[in-house]
Structure 1
Amino acid sequence: MSRRTPAVSSSPVLRHGGVTLDQARHEATVEGRLLDLTPKEFAVLHLLLEAGGAPVPHDVIVRTLWDENLDPRTSAVRATVSRLRGKLGDPGLISADTGRGYRLCD
């Protein structure tokens, strides 16, 4: 009886401008510079990259990444996005579209 090692399926690498997110390695870089992200920051960046520049509504971020009991009016998302902007080094890379959500800019 032979044992076969299953093929390793790597998660896709997401890119937008100079930002790259490798799900398999749980790494994110901007212009080749490795980012030190918290799990929430990584998850927010992942959602924004998956959206490909389309706005991701605040309530979708809350429902997807936080506990369902979190007050939807909380500043947790805003604070996480603010920290993420700082770590990306380009505060203009993430835009807050009033009434529509957050999105990655080109």
Structure 2
Amino acid sequence: MRILIIEDDRQTFEFIVRGFTESGHVAEVISDGRTALAHATGAGYDVLVIDRMIPGLDGLSLVKALRAAGVKTPVIFLTSVGGLDDRVEGLEAGGDDYLVKPFAFSELAARVNALARRPPFQAERNVIAVDDLELDLLRRVVKRAGKVIDLQPREYRLLEVLARNEGRILTRTMLLERVWDFHFDPKTSVVETHISRLRTKIDKPFSYPLLHTIRNTGYSLHAPR
């Protein structure tokens, strides 16, 4: 496996290079974002390991530029910037995974290996349809029966997760993890509140519901059965 490490802290990148080299991989290092942008667009790497706080071009801007240039190489952010909003920002910029420093090399290696095993990139559907409900993923527009539905960002994310899992039951815990990135129970009714708001917008104005509550289990989005 060929890995490009974009990191300006010598102690960190020497530690990572040593670990991957001992595992039989080829690990290269670039210490600034602008050089990395030129290099990563033309070389055949299996995974990019990127720190967000690098000179020249920060890691977030680097990944956005790579994705805009059509580079689909898997990216894992390895950074000390580890707040919830920071992680969401990194993933939405085009990152595939996010690991916060300090870290164990064994975990980094496992995550890199997992990214490298992913199947080759295939273009996603631009539109997800569930019965007469449509989500335009590029324009982030939602319609039902041709009528545009105005959703708040979190409502849209909740609907997208449900639509991508059409017909499956998603538990409250699953939704907390996938929509809010909570890996613990916040002991609030945030899921129930957003489900209620979503139901008011996508179901109540129409003749039949698509969003279903499965008692004591979770929620599912599907056409009437």
Shorter-chain TM band: 0.7 to 0.9
- 1:4-83 matched pairs, under 5 angstroms: 12-68=126-182, 71-83=185-197
Query: For residues 95 and 72 of structure 1, do their structure 2 counterparts lie closer, same or farther at Cα, with a shift above 3 Å needed?
Result: farther
Measure how far apart 1:49 and its partner are.
0.6
Structure 2 counterpart SS, 1:92:
coil
**Aligned-pair Cα RMSD in Å:** 2.4
Query: Identity over the aligned pairs, expressed in percent?
Result: 28
Residue 92 in structure 1 maps to residue 206 in structure 2: no
Q: Indicate the residue corresponding to 1:105 in structure 2.
A: 222
Aligned length, in residue pairs:
101
Check the 8 A contact 1:11/1:22 in 2, yes or no: no
Check the 8 A contact 2:203/2:211 in 1, yes or no: no
Structure 2 counterpart SS, 1:55:
coil
Amino acid at match of 1:25: R
Amino acid at match of 1:38: Q
Q: Quick one: distance in 1 between partners of 2:128 and 2:149?
A: 15
Q: Quick one: distance in 1 between partners of 2:219 and 2:183?
A: 21
The normalised TM-score by structure 2 is 0.40
Measure how far apart 1:61 and its partner are.
0.6
Check the 8 A contact 2:213/2:219 in 1, yes or no: yes
Structure 1: any 5+ residue segments left out of the alignment?
none
Structure 2 counterpart SS, 1:82:
helix
The normalised TM-score by structure 1 is 0.81
Q: Quick one: distance in 1 between partners of 2:173 and 2:130?
A: 23
Q: Quick one: distance in 1 between partners of 2:137 and 2:149?
A: 13
Structure 1 counterpart SS, 2:209:
helix
Q: Quick one: distance in 2 between partners of 1:18 and 1:58?
A: 25
Q: Flag the structure with more relative contact order, 1 or 2, with Cα contacts below 8 A and sequence separation at least 6.
A: 1
Q: Quick one: distance in 2 between partners of 1:46 and 1:101?
A: 16
Q: Quick one: distance in 1 between partners of 2:163 and 2:142?
A: 11
Larger Rg: 2
